[in-house]
Structure 1
Amino acid sequence: MKDPDGGDGADRIAVIVVNYGTADLAIEAVESVLARQHGHRQVDVHLVDNASPNGDAEVLRAAHADRDWGARVTFWPETENHGFGRGNNVVLEALGAQATPPDKVFLLNPDARLENETIDLLAATLEADPQAAAVGASVLRPDLTPVTAAFRFPGPVNEMARMINLSLLNRIAQDRLVPLPPDHPAGPVDWVSGASVMFRFTALRDVGFFDPAFFLYYEEVDLMRRLHEKGWHVLYEPRARVVHEEGAATGQFAGSVGRQRDPAYLYQSWAHYFAQAYGRAGALSLAVLMLFAALLNILHRRLRGRPPTMPRSFISDQIRYVIRPLVFPGSDA
């Protein structure tokens, strides 16, 4: 069920859903795409299973047959968990090898579903602006409360402010913090949520798709950073909406900082992103400063009789997974 030939790429949109351990939600995501009209554009779905545990591939294979998805859905049962970016690259590279690739690609999280004619709205936004490489939708919780889906690029100021997490400092740095408000208006932004984003395929090919060095986290930030460097820009279109069951696949939730230990790959992705954006020396300098910021967080929180707001084991994990590999490239953290 792999690699259909495609046909005329004009006005053709490929939807990619990369599943890991959320088969039932991934089926809902696919169904939400098939149920919409998309402004009568040609839309085909590529459902990747990233070597999920617990028999997800068989569940998805059965859904493909039982729900009569037919040629509208191509199923990609992978034997390795590629992570998010490389999982999408499996399909992107195959699409790029077609005689006529699709005009646009829409990435949809397996734990998200279309709430309206999202694909049509995003496609129309891209079509209205030839310099736009990507456009993101607004993201809603299951109770339809909007959450942040548009962002500024992370950098030294906002990373330090995030780690110190002092109200006064956050107010001073308000115009530099990464998250934009959930009610941010339509228009250009630095980057948008990878849970629901449409790309112009020529722009993706221009930057070489996702950097395969990322397993999970920061891959879409890095991709959109590279698009900006190539002269493209990124848009946010809040009229297009998806409902997102946040964290179903990863177990990570926004606002959960301090309540759990972050996985090693999050630190590794942070280090790789900042090394790409600021050079190895710049990333290392910031990584060390983040340790001092963490100590300031501990100090001001204890003075107020409250626990720190950083992830559990942050200092030791920062040294192990970020600082040591930056100092000794190629070392196994």
Structure 2
Amino acid sequence: MGDQTAPEVAPARPAPEVAVVVVNHNTSDDLLACLATLEGAGTDEVVVVDSGSTDGSLAAVERRFPDVATLGLDNVGFGRAANAGVALTTARAVVLCNADTRFPYASVRALGEYLTAHPDVGALGPLIRFPDGRLQLSARAFPSIRQAIGHALFGLWWPRNPWTRAYRLTDWDHASERDVDWLSGCCLAARRDAFEAVGGFDPAYFMFVEDVDLCDRLAQAGWRVVFAPVAEVVHVVGGAVSRRRLRMAFEHARSLDRYFAKRYAGGWRRGLRPLIRLGLAGWLVAVTMWTAARGRTHGHA
């Protein structure tokens, strides 16, 4: 009889631990810079979802980063695009980010490891800085009606006002982890089973506030929403938003109106809607004036 030695079987590849989904719209240079930083960040999967770009973003990615998975969509907004990207991954943790995010060495791995070690955490936010090193206040509280109106009217011109400090958690140094109400979607790590259990981002939000809504629904479903400075990333704040500042301010106000309509939909709270809309109108006027005076988006504030 001949040699009956069984053929060698390659060991099974471990399941991906953490994926990154990058949502892009007409920010090719930012996107390429983001992907370059991901090469050392410790990610197992990377997916780029392009939302209706006309600047050749996907072609640039395919040339420079042929191993990165890509998906081209119409301009469907951040939430819908992010949901589509998550559906293409299999990792147990997914980092969702804008293309203007930069990831230091091993930062993605640290976020994935934290979620693995804390099975009750549904969403995790890293420490985020502007390129000049300033802290970006990316973890915030759900404001009361009084805080929301005070922040809307005075936040840009008088940033140390008591309502904005309470909403932005300004008096906390961000050096320690804590449970928070919501995290900025510019860079947010989500546990897959938690994200899928609540249906991901609500696609009805074109952009802005989908992160607030997601964190709210995660908390209602029993998941913790946590800020932990186990990783630090840089958020440039710009790209598509900076080029269309006034339109983006309007989109932000419209998304806020939708969110408050859901949050204050029933009972006596319904009567607060006119007051909330008045506050939003004041906020939109303040943002428009601030943007015209400073020549930059309110996201830089």
Same fold at TM > 0.5 = yes
Q: Give the share of equivalent positions with the same residue, in percent.
A: 28
Aligned to 2:139: 150
Residue 197 of structure 1 corresponds to 188
Q: CA–CA distance in 2 between the matches of 1:263 and 1:61?
A: 33
Counterpart-to-counterpart distance in 2, 1:140 and 1:169: 19
Distance change (3 Å), C-alpha of 1:194 and 1:58:
same
1:35 corresponding residue in structure 2: 40
Other structure's SS at 1:279 match: coil
RMSD: 3.2
User: Any gaps of 5 or more consecutive residues in structure 1?
Assistant: 1-6, 96-100, 254-258, 299-307, 315-333
Going from structure 1 to structure 2, the CA distance change for 1:203 and 1:169 (only over 3 Å counts) comes to: same
Q: Does the CA contact (< 8 Å) of 1:126 and 1:135 recur in 2?
A: yes
Cα offset for 1:244?
A: 1.2
- Hey, what does 2:260 align to over in structure 1? 274
Residue equivalent to 1:54: 55
One-letter identity of the residue aligned with 2:222:
G
5 Å matches for 1:315-326?
Answer: none
* CA–CA distance in structure 2, aligned partners of residues 82 and 13 of structure 1: 25
Select which of 2, 20, 23 maps to 2:25. 20
| Separation in structure 2 between the aligned mates of residue 273 and residue 247 of structure 1, nearest angstrom | 24
SS of alignment partner, residue 91 of structure 2? coil
TM-score normalized with structure 2 length: 0.80
Say which SS state the counterpart of residue 262 (structure 2) adopts.
helix
Conserved in 1, the CA contact under 8 Å of 2:17 and 2:112? Answer: no
Q: Does 1:208 align with 2:202?
A: no
Amino acid at match of 1:267: A
* Correspondent of 1:177 among 167, 173, 176: 167
The residue type equivalent to 1:33 in the other structure is L
Give, in angstroms, the shift of residue 263 of structure 1.
4.1
Q: What is the rounded CA distance, in whole Å, between the counterparts of 2:212 and 2:280 in structure 1? A: 23
Instruction: Confirm whether residue 103 of structure 1 aligns to residue 58 of structure 2.
Output: no
The Cα offsets for residues 27-66 of structure 1, whole Å up to 9 and x where unpaired, read as 1111111123x3xxx61100111111233232223223xx
Q: In structure 2, how many angstroms separate the alpha carbons of the residues matched to 1:291 and 1:246?
A: 27
CA, structure 1 residues 294+270, in 2 after alignment: closer, same or farther (shift >3 Å)? closer
Compared with structure 1, are the counterparts of its residues 265 and 309 closer, same or farther at alpha carbon in structure 2 (3 Å cutoff)? Answer: closer
Give runs of aligned pairs for residues 268-307 of structure 1, distance below 5 A: 268-279=254-265, 285-290=271-276, 293=279
1:81 matched to 2:57? The reply is no
Structure 2 residue 234 is the aligned partner of structure 1 residue 243: yes
How far apart, in 1, do the equivalents of 2:55 and 2:46 lie?
A: 23
1:223–1:180 CA distance, 2 compared to 1 (3 A): farther
* AA of the residue aligned to 1:196: C
Q: Please tell me whether residue 127 in structure 1 is matched to residue 116 in structure 2.
A: yes
Task: Evaluate the alpha carbon distance shift between residue 56 and residue 175 of structure 1 in structure 2; reply closer, same or farther with a 3 A threshold.
Answer: closer
User: In structure 2, what residue type is equivalent to 1:35?
Assistant: G
C-alpha separation between the residues in 2 aligned to 1:169 and 1:25?
A: 32
Alignment partner, residue 264 of structure 1: 250
Paired letter, 1:275: A
In the TM superposition, 1:163-174 aligns within 5 A as: 163-165=152-154, 170-171=161-162, 173=163
User: Gapped runs of 5+ residues in structure 2?
Assistant: 1-11, 291-301
C-alpha displacement of 1:287: 4.5
Q: Aligned residue pairs: how many? A: 276
Contact 1:161 1:169 in 2 (8 A): no
Deviations along 1:62-101, whole A, 9 cap, x unmatched? 223xxxx42xx101122x0111100111122344xxxxx3
